[in-house]
Amino acid sequence: MTSSIIGDRALPGLSNGEIARYSRHLLLAEIGVEGQKRLKAAKVLLVGTGGLGAPLALYLAAAGVGTIGMADFDFVEESNLQRQVIHSTKDIGRPKVASAKDRVKGINPTINVVTYNTMLTSKNALELMKGYDVVADGTDNYQTRYLVNDACVLLGIPNVYGSIFQFEGQASVFYAKVGPCYRCLYPEPPPPGLVPSCAEGGVVGVLPGIIGSLQANEVIKLIVGGGDTLAGRLLLFDAWKLTFRTLALEKDANCPICGKNPSIRELVDYEEFCGLKRRDEKSVETITAQALKRRIDAGEPLQIIDIREPHERAIVHFPQAKSIPLGQMVRRIGEFDPAIDAVFVCKIGQRSVFAIRALQEAGYAGRLLNLEDGINGWARAVDRALPVY
């Protein structure tokens, strides 16, 4: 059982309209009038207003959380609408925080919504997060997850964590005062590129709705108090097999930020920590879609290699490309002609970098080019009859 993170703060009253709005909460002995007042007094920051942030914002607003902060620097795109249900078709092109604020205020005009249309960084995170009672992490990259975790530990507030990929999701509460933090579970990030993003690997649309709703549930329990939270536990969900598992997590006494002798006492460079600043590697040469089109039209000899898997190539076919999936690249190195430039194609020009590096490390001596922005860039700049996905 947990105590409320609100503590002994003076609580606001409830108007007759609020009593009517939240009557189903008030009928629950575990929440009641006192719990609803705590929700009204609470301040929750959502980092990200995408797949996970959508149900978080909607349900916390509906629950009556008094102040909801939303931090996101992205804009609504058509591909978001398959899962980010807080946005609508008319919002395409708008800042996500603006779209999300409109929807949240439409659900509950009595709450205060604070938006931050900016990227969370080591320079602004502590100042931005200070004053909030809890942070809900709806991000999709490791550098921001470590940043959110470390900032929460330094500020002494809980971090309600969620992550999704394809059909699998995770959720937990990382609260160093009572249990482990994110670094206790994942001391080191995976090598860059090892785990594809949802933009590259895909995600079933309902998954973030499920995980984000679980996060909202944890936020409500932390505010109201009395429930068993996911602090010290990691919830694993598989949407395809429809299974839930819960793993016990232990606090790491040697954790560099929440252990007995912490070595991290301020926010660090998380791009560098996650290996995204690789100064020792040879840069990968790129070619724009327009430049590739000119070379094709001129009849220049080229090896165009599509590294996508068969199910992804079925979405859109790249003309004149030979298929060699990323996992087969080094094994099929003998199929390349070092005397002819090789151009590598993926969806957005990220996975193909790893194909090029793999060949470089295997000793391939020919010229290797990465198609800038991938096949989506080709569709936008050269062949607009092709779909962008």
**Residue 152, CB half-sphere, CA atoms under 13 Å: how many?**
31
Best CA proximity match to 74, nearest among 111, 120, 105, 107: 120
Q: Is 20 exposed, middle or buried (0-12, 13-18, 19+ CB in 10 A)?
A: exposed
Distance CA 51, CA 55 (A): 8
Catalogue the active-site residues: 198, 346
* 3 state SS of 375: helix
Sheet holding 285-287, edge to edge: 285-287, 368-371, 342-345, 303-306, 322-323
The pLDDT of residue 278 is 55
pLDDT 10s digits, 230-262: 999 999 999 999 999 999 999 999 999 999 999
Helices (H), the chain: 16-21, 23-26, 32-41, 53-63, 96-107, 125-129, 142-155, 182-185, 198-201, 207-224, 270-273, 289-297, 310-313, 351-361, 374-381
Nearest residue to 159 via CA among 147, 146, 173:
173
Q: Kindly report the CA angle at 98 between 97 and 102, in degrees rounded to 5?
A: 115
Please report the beta strands in 153-299, taking only residues with DSSP state E, as ranges in sequence order: 159-165, 168-174, 233-238, 243-248, 285-287
Q: Domains in the chain, please, with CATH? A: 16-273 (3.40.50.720), 285-381 (3.40.250.10)
pLDDT block averages, 10 residues each, the chain of length 389: 87 97 98 97 97 98 98 95 97 97 97 97 96 96 96 98 97 97 94 77 95 98 95 98 97 96 93 73 86 96 95 90 93 96 95 92 95 96 94
- Say how far apart CA 46 and CA 211 lie, in whole Å: 14
How many other β-carbons are positioned within 10 Å of the β-carbon of residue 247?
12
pLDDT of residue 280: 46
Return d(Cα 234, Cα 230) in angstroms, integer: 7
The answer to whether the CB of 135 falls within 8 A of the CB of 176 is no
